[in-house]
Each structure stands twice: as C-alpha cells, then as structure tokens.
Amino acid sequence: MFARFRLGVTWVLLAAEGLLGGGVPAGAQGPVGPPDAPDAYALLALSKMHVSGSISLLTGSLGVNEKEGALEVDGGVPVQLNTADGVIASRKADLVMPSECTAAAFFADTTTGGSSETCGAAPRQDLPEGKPPLIPDVKSSAICDLPADFPNFPECDASDPRTVDAGTDESLPHGKYGALTINGGTLRLEGGDYVFCSVTTNNGSELVVEAPSVLLVGDSFNVLPNSQINVDGAPQDLRVLVNGKQNAINIAGGTALVPAFSGQPAAHPVPLATTTCSFRPVVSRSFRINTTAVVAQLCALEKPAILNLFSATILGTFVADEINVGDIQGGNVVPTTTSSTSTTSTSTTTTSMTSATSTSTTSTSSSTTATTTPTSTTSTSSTTVPTTTSTSTSSSTTLVPPTTSVPTPTSTTTSSSTSTSVSVPVSTSTSTSSSISMPPTTSTSLPPCNPLQLTLVSVKPKRSNPSKGTLKVHGVLADAGWAGVDPQQSGVILGVQRIAGLSTCCTIEQQHWMKRGPAHFKFWNMRRTVCPPLSDMQIKVSREGRATFRFFAPEIDLTGTGSPELKLGAVVGNRCSVGNVSLTSLRLKKNGRLVYP
C-alpha cells in the first residue's frame, strides 16, 4: 500500500532529544554487531566516507562496507546517532576526537594514531568475525537491485528531455526520457519505473511522488538548494538508482542568502536557477532548518561513484561507493512513539528591539513527554504526534530543530534562546520547565557582506560582429576573513547587474568546481549552460583569508542599454561580497576594447 508521511520530515526535525545522548546507559547491552541490512543505515559507503560537517541522525546507522573501508571524521565535527541502536562501523576509522559523539556502539578494527578510541560513552570494539563486509551483497539488496523488468541498467532516450519551468505543476507517467530538469516548478511522478539520462532539481523545485516510483539515472542525480524531494512520502516510495561515476549524486542545501540586483522585473517568469533580482543577503532566521529535504532510498555503486551530501535534511538510506557528507540531519525511518502526560508551568518573556511595547505571558499547559523507540524497516511506519492543551491569553508555536546540545531527559531544565537577524526584530525568550524541553539554541544572523573590489573589467567587441563581445572581470571578494571557504562544499551564488544585456543571478553548485591547489578553485563550462553567459570562474583564498576571483564570459550582447554602473555580488557558503564600478570609468583602447582601470 502506498505510504503517505505528511509529518515525516517535520517529525524528524522535532523528535524528542532523548533519542540522542551521551551513549549507552550503564548496565545496558548495546548492539552486538553492525546491522546486516542496508535499510538499517542512513548512510552506507562501500569504500570511503569523509565527514566534514555535523551529522545528527535520530534513527539509523553509519557505516563503510568493504574490507578496506575507511571512515574519516574531521576534528571537532559532532557525530550524533541514536543511543539505542545507532551504530558507527568501518574497518578503519579516524574520528579525531569529535567535539561531540554519540552512538549505541562503535565498531572498528583499526584506528589511526590520533583517532579517538570511543564515541562518547561507546568504546571501540572489533568488528565481529566475518565482517567486513558489513553487508555481503549490497547490489542485490532491495534498495540497490534493478527492477524485475531490467536485467541490465537501461539506456535513456536522449532525444526526449523534459523540463519543468518555474511556477508550473506537471505530472509525468513512467517511461524512458532524456535529461530531466526542474527549474523551480513541481513535478509529480505517477508511479512506476522512470529512466533518465540525468536529473537536476534547481532552486525552489519540488518532486512529488504520487505512487511508488523507481528512477534509473544514467549519469547524475543533482538536488540543488531549496529543493524538496518526496517530503510527503516514505523513503520506500522513491528509489533512485544512479549508474554514473565520479560525482554521481549531489545534494546540497545552502544559506538563506539570496543575491540579486535591483532593477526592472523580468517580463516573463524565469527559472529560479537563473533570475534577475536585487542583491541582498536574506538572513532573517531565528532558527535553522535546512531548506533542502530528500526522502528516498538512493544507490550509486559504480566505482568510483561519489555521493556529495551537504546541508540537507534526509530521511531514508543513502548508499554510494564514496560519500562526502557534512551538516545533515534526519534518519533512515521516522521514529515511532508512545506517550505519557506530565504537567508543565511555563513563563515566557519576549522583547522586540524595534517595538516600543513588550509582552509578558504566563500559561499553564499539559504537555506530552515522549518515550521513543526507533525502528529500522522498509514497511510503512505510523507516527503519534504529541498533543498539548493550554490555557493562555495568547499562544504561539515555534519549530525548533534538534541541536547538538542535549539535556538529560530526567533533569529539570532551564533553557534560553537568543536570535539575531538583519532587518527584523531581535527577540529573547527565557523559559523554565519541569519536563523535557528542547535544548537551548543560539542562532546569529550571517555577517554583513564584505566590500567587493573590482581590479579589472574588460569588454571587447568581436570583429566579426561588434554587437557581441567578451567580458573579463577580476576582483577581490575580501581582504581577510575568508579562510576555509570551499566552493566544492558550498557552491557559489553569483549576481551581475545589467551591463549591455548581462543581468543574471545563478548558482554554480559544488559539483561543478575543481580544485587546482590547496585553496584554488576553478569552474569551467564552455557550453555556458550552468551560469550563462559565464564559461569559467576562479576563486583563490590565501592563508590569511584574502579571497580573489576572476570570471570570463565569451559572448555578451553589446546592443542593450544598461545602468551606468556595473554591480557584482557573490555568496560562498555563509560569506558574501558585493561591490560596483562606474562604467563611465571604462577607457576606450585603440582596438575598441573598453577597460577598467
């Protein structure tokens, strides 16, 4: 029966923090070995997994399958798994003392000299006899096996590409197609087996699964920021099998920074991936929920097939030969709960800096304390949502996702929350409760943009067609403070104001970036399909944090009328830079080229 999980992702975000803790309670018996079924894992790599950002899994385990498998966790990165049955397993493991690590068990035969021998309260144990591999035949498992109608991976029909434009809502029957691109619209899968050359969901896209579906993707499966994949369904409703190599699966969230340029609105709807807009960082968030969410079972087993998974909420099982992961939350299945009732008295005070009034509210409520038992199964799960009855002159509900700070469930907790954002009121609230409460969270708005400095602008008309020309721009994103910036993890959002027909915002996602040195990154796309009209871009970051850039557009329209100023903005991770130069400063050279300075 087709499963619908309207509360699936929401419940993963709001589930009781008692699922995460310091480790297995004293006297309790942890798992005797790693899980032997793929769907018991949220993340399963065949050969290698690199964790560069926090992981918070309410359900499911984390493992590297093969005999020479290796798990690498960067120093100071929190790794939090369910302390009831969440397992970390790999023949080689390098935890490098995470700032916070929780799991029911930690299995590894070999650790490096600097690696931690424990995950929180869970000590390292040798893998049981006969393991690895953790799972003998992943390829024939229910998650990775081909549908019965396909003895071999099928060929796509490149002559039949499909595009879903922004603002549209379309349905698609099963069948063979070319490349699928969703440019901010909604696509509904009617169910069955779908064959695509590639799949890309751009900014603001939604993929809805109306009936159980299997996607067989020949090259790559790309989920870009602000995409929602099967968020109303269960993981088993959507299986995605990818036959590509290298960056086979790329899933990326992102900050709420939206670069754009003010000016006349577009005359017709345009995809959110490349839009005309006004540059401003939008950072008014008092809490953080990743805007990219994927509910599915994904599998890419070619060697090397790499899964890049960053800044997203996931629900399901994600399998690949190699996995690069960071800043994700979720699990493999929705937790199931049984509830008991306790009484809570709460006093809340809220102050707004932009308002002359302040409001104080006192309420008495009956709340639910949830005792949670996680499950790992491919069958349909059901969720019991806690209920709350309150008497108050005014009330409000705030969604607060789990964080890495977890209070002890039986203790009396005092929590405070402070949030600061740009161009919105700053609110501070304090509450005292005798029942389990969500952990304290602090979120500060992103810093203001650095002043972008242009050091070179060159516009050169073409001899064969003076109405067309090339554009070359060099500049400095920041003089300091950008150390650690990595477009391969965050991608780059770029906005260029109108300059004789050039006025766009676009996202160059992390899979398009190459690393030419320790902190030298290059994007190259001669067909100009990723961020038109640009064909290449470079970013260099010094050890001191000075960041420079350059980009090139081989053909722009020189017949339009534009603003007398060129404005440029860029966002890389949680840093942004914006600046401008007057076009009246351009000097005309003898060869007809316009240059600055």
The CATH number, out of the four listed (2.60.40, 2.40.50, 1.20.1070, 1.50.10), of the domain defined by the range 450-596: 2.60.40
pLDDT for 90 equals: 96
Our measurement of the distance from residue 531's CA atom to the centroid of its chain's CA atoms, rounded to an integer in Å, reads 20
Check residue 424 and give its pLDDT: 30
* Per-residue pLDDT, 227: 92
Strands 101-102 and 536-541: unpaired
CB 572 within 8 A of CB 587: no
Cα 476 to chain centroid distance, Å, stands at 27
Least confident span in 17-31, 134-148, 472-486, 519-533: 17-31
Within the chain, all domains assigned CATH 2.60.40 are found at 450-596
The answer to whether the beta carbons of residues 37 and 131 sit under 8 Å apart is no
Residue 68 to residues 93, 472, 520, Cα–Cα distance (Å) = 11, 47, 31
Backbone angles phi, psi at 441, to 5 degrees: -130, 145
- Of the two residues 54 and 343, the one the predictor is more confident about is 54
Mean of the per-residue pLDDT values of the chain: 73
pLDDT digits (tens, 9 = 90+) for 366-399: 333 344 444 433 333 333 333 333 333 333 322 2
Task: Give the mean pLDDT of 528-535.
Answer: 85
How does strand 87-89 pair with strand 61-64?
A: parallel
pLDDT single digits (tens) 67-94: 999 999 988 889 999 998 899 999 999 9
Residue 571, both tokens: 């966002």
Instruction: Kindly tell me if the per-residue pLDDT of 189 is higher than 90.
Output: yes
Higher pLDDT among residues 29 and 396, named by residue? 29
Provide the percentage of residues in the chain whose pLDDT is more than 90: 40
